[in-house]
């Protein structure tokens, strides 16, 4: 595919992106090839498929897949496509089965993807059908990280731990150090008329919008962020930071706000929970990471998995086209929390960031607006700005990756699109890695255009 027209879409040196990145159909097709067919994508959590034969159906980019627990307790994933004429094999979201049979012609497959039986096989195919070569198309790589199951089509891709890189240091402190995480499902699902990158970039590093977009919710006092209402008060110096890493993963941290967006009663209980666990974690993972555990972290694992730790929100942004995205939302709870607390967090997540959540709907208005305004002839020729804090990005001996010293900034935006650009401009992982050899210097030396 010709990539010439995409060359000027991302300006890493000056922290800018073309407004066309949300609209361009050719670019979207290139994303399917060079991002969703190349990167690690979230499939499910192990708690959703604990037993042999348990399965869920989901998407990897624009492809539907089946994710299934195997007899040996491993996990495999397959394209949800019959090998005969390409019909959908499994039409339900989740369940338990020992295999699947296609509704169209009855080809039947085992849990391991092997083709087991074909109607009238001997009479019609006369022993010329090689069932061993007609099993389901298996996803090249499937790995689990602290129970979060990811898949990758590209067998030349780095393994999942290498792909996470420095970002694993931040994930480990809430995925594993605190006792482990469960996702409460099934996920809530809805569609928004927005490009998948709009919410992904928002979660990777946008605290700037909180006091303005969510002012009415904040003024109700039902949040640990209430003081930010109306953008009247910025978090003080030292109240948080932003981090970006080599493969575009990033977080924003607001220190000491473990309870996130929950109501006052639940917030008080969660703050007490976080403070108590922080004291235990100081000896286990050190005071810096223990404090991060008790902080509110907004983040994105590139390209399309996002989370809010204090608010208990886990999301996946599934692309259905350049201007249509399916949103999957789970509540995220710690395994050792009391059942009643887990239930109340789950209800709170759906009330705030679920399909009709009041935080969610406010965010979706922004995502759809920034997507569709790029359709204008002149607007599509303009560049968007992600230069907040651009001259202050640095390395820090205490924090892996590149750090921006403010809770409100766009360090993570710039890192997200630097890696995005490396992928779009490269034909394979070898080229991606070559384009990332100097990634630290690219970000640290970035400056607004004079």
* pLDDT tens-place string over residues 134-153: 999 999 999 999 999 999 99
Whether residue 222 is predicted with pLDDT greater than 70 in this model: the reply is: no
Q: Where are the beta strands (DSSP E) in 118-201?
A: 141-145, 148-152, 181-192
Cα–Cα distance, 260 to 257 (Å, whole number): 6
The third-level CATH classification (topology) of the domain covering 11-21+166-444 is Naphthalene 1,2-dioxygenase Alpha Subunit; Chain A, domain 1 (3.90.380)
**DSSP secondary structure letters along 389-426:** TTT--EEETTEEEEEESSSS--HHHHHHHHHHHHHHT-
Count of C-beta atoms within a 10 Å radius of residue 440: 15
**Looking at residue 243, what is its pLDDT?**
98
Nearby residues of 415 by Cβ (< 8 Å), 6 or more positions away: 244, 245, 248, 250, 401, 402, 443
**Closest alpha carbon to 44 in 143, 130, 113:** 143
Cβ atoms of 67 and 84 within 8 Å: the answer is: no
Q: pLDDT tens, 228-262?
A: 666 566 777 888 999 999 999 999 999 998 888 88
Query: What is the rounded distance in angstroms from the CA atom of residue 264 to the CA atom of residue 127?
Result: 69
Report residue 31's pLDDT band, with 50, 70 and 90 as the boundaries: very high
Calpha distance 20→28 (Å, rounded): 10
d(CA 310, CA 290): 14
193/366 Cα distance (integer angstroms) = 11
The pLDDT tens digits for 293-339 are 999 999 999 999 999 999 999 999 999 999 999 999 999 999 999 99
How many CB atoms are closer than 10 A to CB 7? 10
| 366-417 pLDDT tens trace | 999 999 999 999 999 999 999 999 999 999 999 999 999 988 999 999 999 9
Give mean pLDDT, residues 431-450. 94
* pLDDT of the residue at 218: 77
Sheet containing strand 383-385, strands side by side? 10-11, 16-18, 383-385
Tell me the angle at which helices 339-353 and 358-372 cross, rounded to the nearest 10 degrees: 40
Q: Choose between 32 and 267: higher pLDDT.
A: 32
pTM: 0.95
CB 58 within 8 A of CB 65: yes
- State the DSSP H helix or E strand holding residue 29, giving kind and residue range, or none if neither: helix 25-31
Give residue 449's pLDDT: 84
Average pLDDT over residues 13-36: 96
Q: Residue 350, CB half-sphere, CA atoms under 13 Å: how many?
A: 13
CA–CA distance, 34 with 420 (Å, rounded to integer): 9
| Beta carbons of 188 and 346 less than 8 angstroms apart | no
pLDDT of residue 225: 63
What rounded mean pLDDT belongs to the chain?
Answer: 93
**Taking the CB of residue 230, how many other CB atoms lie within 10 A of it?**
12
Distance CA 366, CA 213 (A): 9
What's the CA gap between 209 and 366, in Å, rounded?
10
For 361, what's the count of Cα atoms within 13 Å in the CB-facing half-sphere? 9
| Surface-to-core class of residue 114, CB atoms within 10 Å of its CB (0-12 exposed, 13-18 middle, 19+ buried) | middle
Maximum C-alpha span of the chain:
77
Chain segment 204-214, per-residue pLDDT in tens: 999 888 878 88
The CATH topology of domain 41-144 is Rieske Iron-sulfur Protein (2.102.10)
Give catalytic residues, as residue numbers.
105, 206, 209, 214, 363
Residues 43-69: tens digit of each pLDDT: 999 999 999 999 999 999 999 999 999
- Domain residue spans of the chain: 11-21+166-444, 41-144
Residue 6 has pLDDT above 60, yes or no: no
Phi-psi label, residue 281: left if phi above 0, alpha if psi -120 to 50, beta otherwise: alpha
Q: Which residues pair with 321 in a beta bridge?
A: 324
pLDDT over threshold 70, residue 4: no
Preceding omega of 332 cis (within 30 degrees of 0): no
């Amino acid at each position: 595919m010709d990539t010439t027209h995409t060359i000027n879409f991302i300006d890493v040196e000056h922290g800018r992106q073309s407004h066309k990145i949300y609209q361009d159909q050719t670019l979207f097709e290139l994303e399917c090839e060079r991002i969703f067919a190349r990167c690690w994508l979230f499939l499910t959590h192990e708690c959703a498929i604990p037993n042999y034969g348990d399965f869920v159906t989901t998407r990897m980019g624009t492809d539907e897949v089946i994710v299934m627990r195997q007899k040996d307790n491993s996990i495999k994933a397959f394209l949800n496509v019959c090998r005969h004429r390409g019909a959908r094999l499994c039409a339900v979201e989740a369940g338990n089965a020992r295999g699947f049979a296609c509704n169209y012609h009855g080809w039947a497959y085992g849990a391991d993807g092997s083709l087991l039986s074909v109607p009238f096989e001997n009479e019609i195919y006369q022993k010329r059908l090689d069932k061993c070569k007609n099993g389901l198309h298996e996803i090249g790589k499937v790995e689990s990280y602290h129970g979060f199951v990811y898949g990758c089509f590209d067998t030349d891709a780095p393994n999942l731990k290498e792909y996470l890189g420095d970002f694993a240091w931040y994930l480990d402190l809430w995925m594993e150090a605190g006792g482990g995480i469960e996702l409460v499902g099934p996920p809530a699902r809805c569609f928004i008329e927005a490009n998948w990158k709009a919410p992904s970039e928002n979660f990777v590093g946008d605290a700037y919008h909180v006091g303005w977009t969510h002012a009415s919710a904040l003024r109700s006092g039902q949040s640990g962020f209430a003081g930010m209402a109306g953008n009247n008060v910025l978090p003080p110096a030292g109240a948080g930071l932003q981090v970006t890493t080599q493969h575009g993963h990033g977080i924003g941290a607001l220190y000491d706000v473990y309870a996130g967006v929950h109501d006052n009663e639940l917030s008080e209980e969660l703050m007490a929970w976080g403070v108590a666990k922080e004291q235990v974690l100081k000896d286990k993972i050190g005071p810096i990471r223990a404090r991060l555990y008790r902080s509110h972290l907004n983040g994105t694992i590139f390209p399309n998995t996002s989370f809010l730790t204090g608010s208990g929100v886990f999301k996946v942004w599934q692309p259905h086209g350049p201007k249509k995205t399916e949103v999957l939302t789970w509540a995220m709870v710690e395994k050792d929390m009391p059942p009643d607390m887990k239930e109340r967090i789950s209800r709170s997540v759906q009330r705030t960031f679920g399909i009709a959540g009041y935080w969610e709907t406010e965010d979706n208005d922004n995502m759809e607006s920034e997507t569709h305004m790029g359709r204008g002839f002149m607007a599509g020729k303009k560049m968007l700005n992600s230069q907040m804090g651009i001259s202050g990005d640095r390395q820090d001996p205490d924090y892996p990756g590149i750090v921006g010293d403010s809770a409100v900034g766009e360090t993570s935006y710039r890192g997200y699109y630097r890696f995005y650009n490396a992928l779009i401009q490269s034909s394979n992982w070898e080229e991606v890695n070559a384009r990332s050899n100097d990634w630290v210097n690219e970000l640290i030396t970035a400056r607004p255009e004079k």
